[in-house]
């Protein structure tokens, strides 16, 4: 099978100050540097992954999260989400679910169709529509269910040579911390790697991530790679995370929104090379048009341009273009409209000091975490929750 990055590892780190990391091994695929794009709903579709890969070839770019049940039964939305670009030699997607049998069927369907090369299991999503079904961040509360889910995916994946990884949060809240136990269970069940978003579900995306938890997980999980996720806005943040926690690689989420060149910077920084300057606005606008054009080709122009509106704010973050300009970009009606707005701006504008670190994407928290009614009564219960009854944990 193909090696994603053929660079000789022994020669790529001339600077001893750069943490020396091993390639991330996913089945027969070797990935260096060990950098992964986190799946983000409505964002990490084929056009966005292709754009990121243009800046950072050879890394792992994960498709959007999909519900195992929806994939098994099939529908138009799932079929659209499952599309991979012709340039994707390593196809990766994320699944979530709370039924081991259904999860195994989803992996089997993907394997029989030769549709993916890697599957990540989501045990960290805090969205109410996911946790109220006992999925995402709710799963790690139930140890036996977690073990059954990971085992089902791993054993089924073996039939097709599909490695399984797992991503999760620290727990539900400060009183229900599960990440060490979750990591050990995933390790024992045969996962190829685990990734920790160093926040609880209740924290959502605020305040700062607790990198010390990544170190704690790394100390507990010793036979498979541990990847860190949370608050990597610039490439130097990834170096600091590795230095402070000892993690084996990094997962990039909101930091690449409107900044797909972050993956280029990560390759440079882990290779001991200088990081390139943040692009001038003109270069950013060229990337915007390229992204929007690809998205319109993927979804059709009307739907694609509507979907691209959220990206415009992320691309313009940190550039002093003014509120009225931002509003106009957020209301674009066509590709031609986008090009007209781009041509009217000063292409020589540079990002404001510290602009790279301005948060993009979700920034809210804490939130109320929604669980199925009675979910905490018996944490060894393997029953698949009834979607019709939910409870809310206090907080907010």
Q: Hey, what domains does the chain have and what are their CATH numbers?
A: 16-274 (3.20.20.70), 281-352 (1.10.1200)
DSSP state of 123: E
3-state secondary structure of 372: strand
15 with 272: CB under 8 angstroms?
Answer: yes
Q: What is the enclosing helix (H) or strand (E) of 73?
A: helix 68-73
pLDDT digits (tens, 9 = 90+) for 98-139: 999 999 999 999 999 999 999 999 999 999 999 999 999 999
* Residues involved in catalysis: 125
DSSP 96: E
pLDDT tens track for 128-178: 999 999 999 999 999 999 999 999 999 999 999 999 999 999 999 999 999
Continuous segment of H or E residues that includes residue 26 = strand 24-26
Strands (E), 199-277: 226-229, 249-252
> Does the pLDDT of residue 189 top 90, yes or no?
yes
Q: How do residues 310-322 score in pLDDT, each as one tens digit? A: 999 999 999 999 9
pLDDT given for residue 385 in this prediction: 60
Nearest to 144 by CA among 385, 372, 378, 392: 378
**Residues near 273 by beta carbon (within 8 Å), at least 6 away in sequence:** none
pTM: 0.92
Cβ proximity of 392 and 369 under 8 Å: yes
């Amino acid at each position: 099978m193909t090696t994603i990055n053929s660079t000789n590892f022994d020669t790529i780190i001339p600077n001893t100050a750069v943490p020396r990391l091993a390639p991330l091994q996913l089945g027969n695929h070797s990935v260096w540097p060990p950098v992964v794009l986190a799946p983000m709903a409505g964002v990490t579709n084929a056009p966005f992954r292709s754009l990121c890969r243009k800046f950072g070839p050879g890394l792992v770019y994960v498709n959007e999260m999909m519900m195992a049940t929806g994939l098994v039964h099939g529908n138009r939305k799932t079929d659209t989400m499952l599309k991979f670009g012709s340039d994707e030699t390593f196809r990766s997607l994320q699944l979530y679910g709370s039924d081991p049998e259904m999860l195994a069927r989803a992996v089997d369907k993907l394997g029989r169709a030769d549709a993916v090369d890697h599957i990540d299991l989501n045990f960290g999503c805090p969205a109410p529509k996911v946790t109220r079904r006992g999925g995402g961040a709710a799963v790690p509360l139930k140890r036996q269910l977690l073990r059954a889910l990971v085992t089902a995916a791993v054993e089924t994946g073996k039939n097709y040579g599909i490695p399984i990884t797992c991503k999760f949060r620290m727990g539900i809240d400060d009183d229900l911390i599960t990440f060490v136990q979750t990591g050990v269970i995933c390790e024992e069940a045969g996962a190829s790697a685990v990734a920790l978003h160093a926040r609880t579900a209740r924290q959502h995306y605020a305040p700062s991530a607790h990198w010390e938890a990544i170190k704690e997980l790394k100390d507990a999980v010793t036979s498979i790679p541990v990847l860190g996720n949370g608050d990597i806005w610039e490439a130097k943040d990834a170096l600091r995370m590795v230095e402070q926690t000892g993690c084996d690689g990094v997962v990039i989420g909101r930091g690449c929104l409107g900044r797909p060149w972050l993956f280029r910077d990560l390759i440079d920084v882990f290779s001991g090379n200088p990081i390139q300057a943040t692009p001038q606005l003109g270069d950013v606008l060229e990337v915007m048009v390229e992204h929007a054009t690809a998205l319109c080709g993927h979804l059709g122009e009307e739907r694609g341009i509507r979907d691209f509106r959220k990206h415009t704010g992320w691309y313009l973050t940190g550039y002093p273009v003014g509120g009225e300009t931002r509003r106009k970009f957020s209301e674009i009606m066509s590709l031609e409209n986008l090009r007209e707005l781009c041509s009217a701006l000063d292409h020589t504008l540079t990002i404001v000091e510290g602009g790279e670190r301005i948060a993009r994407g979700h920034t809210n928290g804490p939130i109320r975490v929604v669980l199925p009614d009675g979910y905490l009564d018996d944490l060894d219960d393997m029953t698949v929750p009834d979607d019709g009854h939910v409870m809310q944990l206090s907080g907010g």
